[in-house]
Amino acid sequence: MRSRFFLTEALALIAGFLIIVTQAFGSGAAEWIGFGCGVAALAVCASLLVDSARRHRGPSWLALASVGLVIAGWNIVASLVFSAPAAIWLMFGNGCGLLALALAGLTLHEVSTERVVHSLEVGDSAREQVGA
């Protein structure tokens, strides 16, 4: 599996956790957990950006990682600067945005040429084994 896939999965998990935290915990705990989720999402998006730039994955992956960096950075700022009710709803929106980016990244991974070629290679080798 590609590192992009695991990084995008991690981003989806972080975003889902952030969405749940904002609605399940008290405001003080949610703000600090939201700060931690923002730092984790920032690290994941930075890793995605480095991986995409290093392997020349194209503008779509670079845009996805860059927007993720902006949202994660904004989540860190929102968790520390705004009052509790505003921070909770901003972090909820940031979590929804990160989750949408992660789902777009997973979709992009599945429709990529490499994935299609890999599926065809695995399918052809499975038919050869059955036919042998």
Spatial contact of 91 and 79, defined as CB atoms under 8 Å apart: yes
Spatial contact of 11 and 100, defined as CB atoms under 8 Å apart: no
Give the pLDDT score at 99: 95
| pTM, to two decimals | 0.80
Number of domains in the chain: 1
Mean pLDDT of 82-108: 92
Where are any strands of DSSP class E within the chain? Answer: none
Q: Which domain holds residue 16?
A: 3-131
Distance CA 102, CA 44 (A): 11
Confidence of residue 12 (pLDDT cuts 50, 70, 90): very high
Q: Which two tokens mark 13?
A: 């998990």
Give the pLDDT score at 34: 92
